[in-house]
Amino acid sequence: MKRLLPKIAVFLLSFTGMLIIPCQQANCQVDTLKNPGQFLYSDFTKARIATKAGKDLTMLANYNIITEKIVFLQRGQVYDLIDYHNVDTIYFKNVTYIPGEKLFYELAVSGPVSLLIRHRGTIQDPPKPAAYGGTSDVSSSNYVNNINFGNVVYRLKNDTALIIRPEDEFLVEKGEVISMFHTEKQYVALFPEIRDELKSFIKENKTHFDKEGDLVKLVRYCNTLKKR
């Protein structure tokens, strides 16, 4: 399963759905399958939802970076999964999600120290006109011309595009504490007992704190130190 590559798309977002199983009791959202720019992945994929009650559910699912919700597909309609407290784990092929208080995190590394990814997107104003009739660079963004959250609709006149910019955030979970970090200084401060080892690893590996692959290696190394 591939993540949806950023591209320009004009589409309708409507999020009034909520997960109540059986799902025919849920309010549905429509006109999203032909406008997939709000989804993290390029297609809906079979997912297994492990509940805290010990029952497993299987459905076609995806992740919406605007609402930060797992969404699932049934009979051509898309529904939001919002019943976080009854969900233990969600498995998308080789990707695992765990529930937070109000959203789902991708579990990139599991261990004494876990790496979590918060997949999110922000809605921004349209680009300002640039010289010679062009616009400023927004190549990493997606576009919508209207968006509906519950009963509140935001719509721009003349089909002017809103901009959705993907902005992932990285966090570590140590014990039951989840901490966000953006820089080396912030990360190392979370582990004062192995500070020197981490600084050496970061320097030798030229770790970038905005790259998932680099952070996966860093957290795995951190776990080897924590086991000593």
Give the predicted TM-score (pTM) of the model: 0.72
Determine the residue type at 214: D
Whether 169 and 193 map to the same domain: the answer is: no
Do 189 and 176 share a structural domain? Answer: no
Average pLDDT over residues 175-198: 95
Residues 120, 201: one domain?
Answer: no
- pLDDT bracket for residue 217 (50, 70, 90): very high
Q: What mean pLDDT do residues 52-72 have?
A: 88
| More confident of the two residues 85 and 152 | 85
Look up tokens 């937070």; give the residue: 100
pLDDT band per the 50, 70, 90 thresholds, residue 36: low
Asked whether residue 155 falls in the same domain as residue 220, the answer is: no
166 and 151 in a common domain = yes
What mean pLDDT comes out for the span 140-166? Answer: 48
What confidence tier does 162 reach under pLDDT thresholds 50, 70, 90? low
- Predicted pLDDT of residue 221: 97
Q: Which of 180, 195, 220 is the last residue of a domain?
A: 180
Q: For 106-126, what is each residue's pLDDT tens digit? A: 999 999 999 999 999 877 666
Q: Indicate the length of the chain as a whole number.
A: 228
- 30 plus 61 within the same structural domain: yes
Structure confidence at residue 2 (pLDDT)? 57
Q: Are residues 81 and 148 in the same domain?
A: yes
Q: Please provide the DSSP assignment of the chain as one string.
A: -PBPPP-----EEEE-----TTGGGSPPB-S-TT-GGGBSBSS-EEEEEEETTS-EEEEEEEEETTTTEEEEEETTEEEEE--GGGEEEEEETTEEEEE-SSSEEEEEE-SSEEEEEE--EEEEPPPPB-GGG-B---TT-EEESEEEETTEEEE-GGGPPEEEEE--EEEEEETTEEEE--SHHHHHHT-GGGHHHHHHHHHHHT--TT-HHHHHHHHHHHHHHHT-
Give the domain range for residue 223: 184-228
Cα(121)–Cα(99) distance, integer angstroms: 18
Number of domains present in the structure of the chain: 2
Rounded Cα–Cα distance for residues 30 and 76 (Å): 8
Does residue 107 sit in the same domain as residue 16? yes
Non-local CB neighbours of 167 within 8 Å, separated by 6+ positions: 120, 121, 122
Do 172 and 141 fall into the same domain? yes
- Residues 215 and 132 occupy one common structural domain: no
168 and 209 both lie in a single domain: no
Query: Which of residues 148, 164, 180 is at a domain's end?
Result: 180
Per-residue pLDDT, 122: 76
pLDDT on residue 143: 43
Most confident range (mean pLDDT) of 36-40, 152-156, 165-169 is: 165-169
Does residue 16 sit in the same domain as residue 123? yes
Average pLDDT of span 20-28: 33
